[in-house]
């Protein structure tokens, strides 16, 4: 069977973008099939952070934290126009569920995993004499304040940048384009898709399902589907408030013990996130009034500037969907490790990616490349069939103008 591409990537969120980039830079012919637009779903609805995940230490996810901190350093070094270090502040109160000694222990471990030779990994206790540098922060019952460093980004801009890098290395993109079905054959995958109102077919040596909250739906359209563990969709909401708290990001504790970020964003303040099970169409996920109220009340608890605000003052709110392993634990306590499933451990034709962090998209892409190399190295990389080049090229031009 002749192939049009070495790999088809379904989805142009950050995971699909990263997979396409690493494959294209390794000289494989790649096409991305995206139904809505680059970073149109979860990859534009995150907390806008490039971080190791300090709170993941509570659930023992040390390997994930280490991986993310290593990727954070690479992004800071190589994409300084998109990723910048920002000071984070953790206030500890008499009512806080996490005492000062536990936070100090967590920050010490975080610094160790980040690398002691890295000055950005240092944290410090803010003396009471300097609390005036934290305007508006509630002082009642305040016992300690810690400062450490992590990074912030524009998640959608970062995703577009990675897609542009993949395209610059030869990847193509079909957008909007929807997968109809994919069938594994003896030496590849036959893919039927709809683009511009037309049903078309392409052939590829492998397919990577990076469709985010649609991962299970996409997998069901593959024949045979890969064996995936049960997963849940968990919605996370953020609100944007007409406040300015300077250049600082605060890491505060809601009444139920959840960690909430309060951070500068576009001259306003972004607050998030929540976690609730979601069972509907991923396109229809929206914030609930309860979530908006929960986040607003959390900000009001800590900052005097927010106490006059009401729900109608919220400038914007949005919800994104996480893909998490199904289990009885609360979403807050579940693993954030990326789940990679494939149809054949030796020479896979179809891979599915569930979950994954914005920060560690490159690490996930490398794992995908390693799994696919036995399949792709059987023959030399093949150039794309010109039949599909024009459609992909035109779609690529449209996306670069977004």
Query: Any idea how long the chain is?
Result: 402
pLDDT digits (tens, 9 = 90+) for 313-326: 999 999 999 999 88
The stretch 138-150 carries a mean pLDDT of 96
pLDDT in tens, 191-213: 999 999 999 999 999 999 999 99
- Residue 346 three-state SS: coil
Mean pLDDT in the chain? 91
Whether the link from the prior residue into 224 is cis, omega within 30° of 0, is: yes
Percentage of the residues of the chain whose pLDDT score is greater than 70: 90
Question: What pLDDT band is residue 379 in, cutting at 50, 70 and 90?
Answer: low
Mean pLDDT over 85-109 rounds to 95
Contact 231, 321 (CB under 8 A): no
pLDDT band at 345 (very low <50, low <70, confident <90, very high): confident
> With contact defined as beta carbons under 8 Å apart, do 351 and 208 qualify?
yes
Q: Where are the beta strands (DSSP E) in 94-230?
A: 124-125, 142-153, 172-174, 177-184, 189-195, 198-209, 222-223
Portion of the chain with pLDDT greater than 90, in percent: 81
User: Which phi-psi region, left, alpha or beta, contains residue 53 (left: φ > 0; alpha: ψ -120 to 50)?
Assistant: left
Q: How do residues 285-300 score in pLDDT, each as one tens digit?
A: 999 999 999 999 999 9
pLDDT band at 333; cut points 50, 70, 90: low
Going by DSSP bridges, is the β-strand pair 142-153/259-265 parallel, antiparallel, or unpaired?
unpaired
pLDDT reading at 14 higher than 50: yes
What pLDDT shows up at residue 94?
94
Does residue 271 sit in helix, strand or coil?
Answer: strand
Instruction: Look at residue 387 in the predicted model and tell me its pLDDT.
Output: 45
The pLDDT score that the predictor gives to residue 336 is: 79
């Amino acid at each position: 069977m002749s192939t049009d591409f070495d790999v088809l990537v379904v989805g142009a969120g950050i995971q699909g973008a990263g997979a396409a980039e690493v494959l294209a830079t390794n000289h494989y012919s790649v096409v991305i099939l995206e139904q809505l637009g680059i970073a149109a779903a979860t990859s534009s609805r995150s907390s806008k952070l490039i971080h190791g995940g300090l709170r993941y230490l509570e659930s023992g996810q040390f390997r994930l934290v280490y991986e993310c901190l290593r990727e954070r350093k690479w992004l800071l070094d190589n994409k300084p126009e998109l990723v910048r270090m920002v000071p984070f502040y953790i206030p500890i109160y008499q009512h806080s569920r996490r005492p000062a000694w536990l936070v100090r222990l967590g920050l010490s471990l975080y610094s160790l995993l980040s690398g002691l030779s890295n000055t950005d990994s240092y944290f410090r206790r803010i003396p009471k004499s300097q609390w005036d540098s934290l305007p508006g922060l509630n002082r009642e019952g305040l016992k300690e304040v810690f400062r450490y460093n992590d990074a912030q980004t524009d998640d959608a801009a970062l995703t577009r940048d990675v897609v542009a890098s993949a395209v610059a290395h030869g990847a193509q993109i079909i957008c909007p384009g929807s997968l109809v079905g994919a069938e594994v054959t003896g030496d590849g995958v036959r893919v039927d898709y709809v683009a511009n109102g037309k049903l078309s077919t392409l052939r590829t040596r492998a397919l990577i399902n990076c469709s985010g909250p649609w991962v299970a739906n996409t997998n069901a359209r593959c024949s045979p589907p890969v064996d995936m563990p049960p997963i849940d969709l968990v919605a996370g909401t953020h609100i944007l408030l007409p406040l300015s708290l300077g250049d600082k990001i605060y890491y505060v504790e809601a009444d139920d013990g959840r960690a909430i970020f309060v951070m500068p964003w576009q001259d306003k303040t972004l607050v998030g996130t929540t976690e609730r099970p979601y069972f509907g169409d991923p396109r229809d996920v929206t914030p609930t009034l309860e979530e908006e109220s929960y986040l607003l009340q959390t900000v009001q608890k800590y900052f005097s500037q927010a106490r006059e605000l009401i729900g109608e003052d919220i400038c914007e709110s949005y919800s994104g969907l996480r893909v998490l392993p199904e289990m009885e634990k609360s979403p807050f306590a579940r693993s954030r490790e990326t789940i990679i499933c494939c149809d054949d451990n030796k020479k896979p034709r179809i891979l599915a990616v569930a979950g994954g962090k914005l920060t560690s998209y490159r690490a996930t892409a490398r794992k995908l490349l390693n799994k696919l190399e036995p399949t792709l190295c059987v023959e030399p990389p093949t150039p794309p069939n010109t039949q599909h080049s024009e459609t992909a090229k035109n779609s690529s031009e449209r996306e670069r103008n977004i």
